[in-house]
Structure 1
Amino acid sequence: MDKTTTLPQRARMTVSGPPSEGRGRCVVGFDGSSAGVTALDWAVTWAARNHRDVHLVGVVDDDAGAMSGTSASDSDHARAQLLSETVALLTEQHPGIAVTTRLIAGPVAASLAAAARPDDLVVIGSDKTGYAHGRLFGARSVQLAALVSGPLTVVPAADLRFRAGVLVAIDGTPESSRLARVGAEEAVARQCALGLVHAIAVDATSERRQLGEAVLREAFEAARAVAPGLEISRHLANRRPAEAMLNLARDRALLVMGRSRRVATAGVGGTLHEVLINANVPVMVLP
């Protein structure tokens, strides 16, 4: 197995403020790929900012090992060594953050979902197609989104160093105000601007446009209540929701959206599916 990809060199980050005892962890699915390293770097930064512990989870997919000719014991050893080396790097680069690990054998998405508690934030990397390097995550982010009960962040394998701003997708459901508040909190923590987007059909009637403006106005007030001085913009987009989100988010640091409850069947809604498969920005999905 290849050596662990070197983590990005960053300024040392020490944690101050209240300890993370009694709060959810930042659970990171890690496989050593470039997408996994990008996700881990994002997760450590978020965990330090929010005073959370980091829990690294390695998954040994027995089926994948069999197909590659690797025995289960060899896969276990390699993954355990990967986690151990990564913890050593994190301890050196980010003193003050508590890091724990867990090695699991089984289906990737289901194993990661089972490793998380309801108040944990699960973070995984995505290569968008799911085929790069034959690694674990990628398109499986969609599977995980359907399984986790708590919040999930999917981080694409992209250069995120010069990104700024938080975008929140507002769908007009009763949860829209909560999404706006979470987005405002993230924007305040990052010291950046907040954007709110709500999509309507190209041929929407004037009544539907007025309703869309009202939805954005309510979300704006919810966000402003969190941070009165926060710079907030509103976007009423005449296009499909996924297109509107991805277009506006292409230079942002974070996209916040809700997990659809409009479908009773297992899985995720079409909009969330399309966004995760084509993610060009870290996507935080809230239950």
Structure 2
Amino acid sequence: MVADGRTVVGFDGSSSAWRALDWAADRVAQRGGVLEVVHAIDTRLGGAVLGPRFGLDTSVEVELREAAGHVRAMAPGVTVETRWVDGPPASALLRESATAALLVVGTDKRPDRPGTRIGTLPLKLAAKSDCPVAVIPDSPRPERNVVVVGVDRSGFARSALALAVTEASWRGAQIEAVHAWDVPEALQRALDSDEGADQAFLEREQAVIPDAIAEVPIARAAKITPIVVRQNPAAALVEHGVGAAAIVVGSRGRGRFVASLLGSVSHDVLLNLPCPVLVTPRDYGFVTPGSADDSDW
């Protein structure tokens, strides 16, 4: 699939949507492309609730004009376009993902409020989108110019690694690749004893990140700090993502029948996101910065 350089922001005038708009405008100002602000609204529902008073010219279109003016004031060099589409937000934005380079949505989730109150829209988009999805929480500005990426042995992690390298290159950020392994409770006591884990097993776990880097062309020349820990993978990513510019994870949801399967690690990170989180599908192609060649990932 070839993305067209559009960064699409799902916008509804809420405080979380304004945060997503700011984040997207800043990103497009750094990396280029077109910023498209899309307001998805179910006109049938609006008409049923408000009756004759319902009019897009006094609600949606006013908000879109305000959003465009805000972006032009914030980032004068950014090309910004606005439009509204009819239909439920999740379905409408998923259609946009077919040709977008990135889909951006906000959430009122805060790092100091763990739990499930993220809303269903970010989870649906992250699970089913054809392009990477950025979920922007109500979090402080990053303290560290670092992009954290979760790495395991899957192809999904290779795609996440490719996006993390690309994202870091635009930001001039460092990259921390986190590989976390954990065991069932029944094995915890044995590992905590003097015996510890088998040396061959530990060596295999230490090789996960170097193996992934070797298989992702645009990652081979990047400066990547490997972090291998015995910890719940989602908890490890959330912990290392505190104060970071972004966390990047892969999604396992692809295709008609598995599209709702986000993956437990990605799902748990989104429920506790400490910073912006980017979720990428496995089969998305990336271009090495400064190169015209597409990466396999």
Aligned length: 257
Q: Distance in 2 between matches of 1:72 and 1:28?
A: 29
1:281 maps to which residue? 275
Does the Cα contact within 8 Å between 2:37 and 2:83 map onto a contact in 1? yes
Rate the CA distance shift 1:62–1:272 in 2: closer, same or farther, 3 A: farther
Does the Cα contact within 8 Å between 2:163 and 2:280 map onto a contact in 1? no
Q: Look up the equivalent residue of 1:249 and give its one-letter code.
A: G
Structure 1 unmatched runs, 5+: 1-21, 130-136
2:23 maps to which residue? 42
Find 2:251's aligned residue among 249, 259, 265.
259
1:102 maps to which residue? 83
Find 2:7's aligned residue among 18, 22, 26.
26
2:232 maps to which residue? 240
Does the Cα contact within 8 Å between 1:139 and 1:277 map onto a contact in 2? no
2:174 maps to which residue? 193
Q: Distance in 1 between matches of 2:210 and 2:248?
A: 17
Q: Distance in 1 between matches of 2:248 and 2:89?
A: 24
Q: Distance in 2 between matches of 1:156 and 1:71?
A: 34
Does the Cα contact within 8 Å between 2:19 and 2:106 map onto a contact in 1? yes
Q: Distance in 2 between matches of 1:146 and 1:229?
A: 28
Does the Cα contact within 8 Å between 1:257 and 1:286 map onto a contact in 2? yes
Cα RMSD (Å): 2.9
1:216 maps to which residue? 209
Counterpart secondary structure, 1:140: helix
Does the Cα contact within 8 Å between 2:234 and 2:266 map onto a contact in 1? yes
Does the Cα contact within 8 Å between 2:165 and 2:222 map onto a contact in 1? no
Does the Cα contact within 8 Å between 1:58 and 1:102 map onto a contact in 2? yes
Q: Distance in 2 between matches of 1:80 and 1:180?
A: 38
Does the Cα contact within 8 Å between 2:251 and 2:266 map onto a contact in 1? yes
Rate the CA distance shift 1:262–1:85 in 2: closer, same or farther, 3 A: closer
Query: After the TM superposition, which of the residue ranges 82-91 and 258-267 deviates more from structure 2?
Result: 258-267
Query: After the TM superposition, which of the residue ranges 140-149 and 174-183 deviates more from structure 2?
Result: 174-183
Q: Distance in 1 between matches of 2:166 and 2:218?
A: 11
Counterpart secondary structure, 2:59: helix
1:5 maps to which residue? none
Say which structure, 1 or 2, has more relative contact order (CA 8 Å, 6+ apart).
Answer: 2
Q: Look up the equivalent residue of 1:79 and give its one-letter code.
A: V
Matches within 5 A, 1:55-134: 55-61=36-42, 65=46, 69-71=49-51, 74=54, 76=56, 77-128=58-109
Q: Percent identity?
A: 29
Q: Distance in 2 between matches of 1:111 and 1:286?
A: 19
CA drift of 1:29 comes to 0.4
CA drift of 1:235 comes to 1.4
TM-score of the aligned structures, taking structure 2 as reference length: 0.76
Q: Distance in 1 between matches of 2:52 and 2:119?
A: 22
1:158 maps to which residue? 139
Q: Look up the equivalent residue of 2:54 and give its one-letter code.
A: D
Structure 2 unmatched runs, 5+: 111-117, 192-196, 282-297
CA drift of 1:63 comes to 7.8
Counterpart secondary structure, 1:142: helix
Does the Cα contact within 8 Å between 1:200 and 1:209 map onto a contact in 2? no
Does the Cα contact within 8 Å between 2:249 and 2:278 map onto a contact in 1? yes
TM-score of the aligned structures, taking structure 1 as reference length: 0.78
Q: Look up the equivalent residue of 1:181 and give its one-letter code.
A: A
